[in-house]
Amino acid sequence: MKLLFVADPLESFKPYKDSTFAMMREAAARGHTLLACEPRHLRWQQGGVVEASVREITLTGSTEVQAWFSVAGETTLALRDTSAVLMRKDPPFDSEFFYATHLLSQAEREGARVFNSPRALREHPEKLAILEFPQHIGPTLVTRDPSAIRAFHAEHRDIILKPLDGMGGMGIFRVGPDGLNLGSIMETLNQGGATSVMVQKYLPEIVDGDKRILLIGGVPVPYCLARIPQGSEIRGNLAAGGKGVARPLSDDDRRIAEALGPVLAARGLLLVGLDVIGSKLTEINVTSPTCFAEITDQTGFPVAKTFIDALEAALASAAMPAA
């Protein structure tokens, strides 16, 4: 099979922990052809189809940055002429990401198979997607109104504020009962009412980790990665210095995963990363979920193998003639 990975520049990968690299390594071990491009390489012109300037790559066996792949060739290829397109561009979900999903939707109409579904990517913004599942989340507010934020703080006393387009823990603030710096933080995030903010009640269970639960084909991986804040940090994100510890799913983790898994899979989301603190869902990550390497390294569970199994099954199912 020809697998096209639409991702960040290959030269920026950190193979020792990159989930896209883990996918590629498993796919290559099965004999699949690896193709790669960036969203900026996608294009469409009237009278033609969506195509991209792609590199065919081979893996060198190294896990060193920039030394892990070699380029076997470069060509322009119609996306519909691949076996599957894997959209693995990291957040943020900005305008260019949004436009790329529309080009990928056009490629689907032309016959390409794209994972995760471009439409599903657009319809599941990673912080706002939790609003569909209020029974699984803690007290949450989304607003542009500074007075609503102040009222939420007055009610819950200890709160977290974060931008809707942040990633890796960027722009997350905690305000305790004294309300110290709430006004300044609102000015920074809310910009005088111009920008929407998510506000959530602080969950003290964060000290035990912000858990990343992977759903593959709607089925939860049996281990999560608890990202534990270090020192005085409130953020468990690995990008913010959190320590990743793999653990078996708790009963609450499994309850949430099994409730959401089939729903999200039916929408074309082959791979999802749920973020859970304690027993509360905090985010639904669909753009480029990670933690394959950490979970596999610590538990031996073959996350990449499970993912490629699910991808092959999805492609085989689509190829079967209707009964």
Q: Is 322's pLDDT higher than 50?
A: no
DSSP run (H or E) holding 179: none
Selecting among 55, 88, 89, 162, the annotated active-site residue is 162
Catalytic pick from 38, 126, 283, 294?
283
Q: Lowest mean pLDDT: which of 132-136, 166-170, 253-257? A: 166-170
**Residues 102-148: tens digit of each pLDDT:** 999 999 999 999 999 999 999 999 999 999 999 999 999 999 999 99
What pLDDT score does 88 carry? 98
- The pLDDT value given to residue 323: 47
Q: Which of 72-86, 88-102, 300-314 has the lowest mean pLDDT?
A: 88-102
CATH assignment, 2-121:
3.40.50.20
Three-state secondary structure of 57-93? EEECCCCCCCCCEEEEEEEEEEHHHCCEEEECCCCCC
Q: Which residue out of 212, 237, 253, 280 is catalytically annotated?
A: 212
pLDDT for res 320: 56
The question of whether 227 is a catalytic residue gets the answer yes
Orientation of helix 303-319 relative to helix 19-29, angle to 10° = 60
Residues facing residue 114 across a β-bridge? 85
Q: What is the DSSP letter of 49?
A: -
Q: What is the mean pLDDT of residues 213-237?
A: 90
pLDDT of residue 171: 85
Residue from 127, 201, 211, 280 carrying the catalytic annotation: 127
The three-class DSSP label of residue 209 is coil
Instruction: Tell me whether domains 139-202 and 205-319 share a fold.
Output: no
User: Which one of the listed residues 227, 237, 253, 280 is annotated catalytic?
Assistant: 227
Is 275 among the residues known to form the active site? yes
Per domain, the residue ranges of the chain are: 2-121, 139-202, 205-319
- Find out if CATH 3.30.470.20 is the number for domain 205-319: yes
Task: Say whether 123 is catalytic.
Answer: no
**Does the pLDDT value for residue 286 go beyond 70?**
yes
Instruction: Give the residue carrying structure tokens 């990291």.
Output: 90
User: Is 25 tagged catalytic?
Assistant: no
What whole-number percentage of the chain has pLDDT above 70?
A: 97
Distances in whole angstroms, Cα of residue 125 to Cα of each of 31, 39, 68, 112, 205: 34, 18, 32, 23, 24
Domain 139-202 has CATH 3.30.1490.20: yes
> Which tokens go with 1?
């099979």
Cα angle at 315 between 44 and 217, to 5 degrees? 105
pTM score above 0.75: yes
Which of 134, 142, 192 is CA-nearest to residue 162? Answer: 142
Over residues 73-92, mean pLDDT: 96
Label residues 179-198 b or e (16+ Cβ within 10 Å = b): eeebeebbeebbeeeeebbb
- Write the pLDDT tens digit of every residue in 195-222: 999 999 999 999 999 999 999 999 999 9
Q: What angle do CA 303, 83, 89 make, to 5 degrees?
A: 55
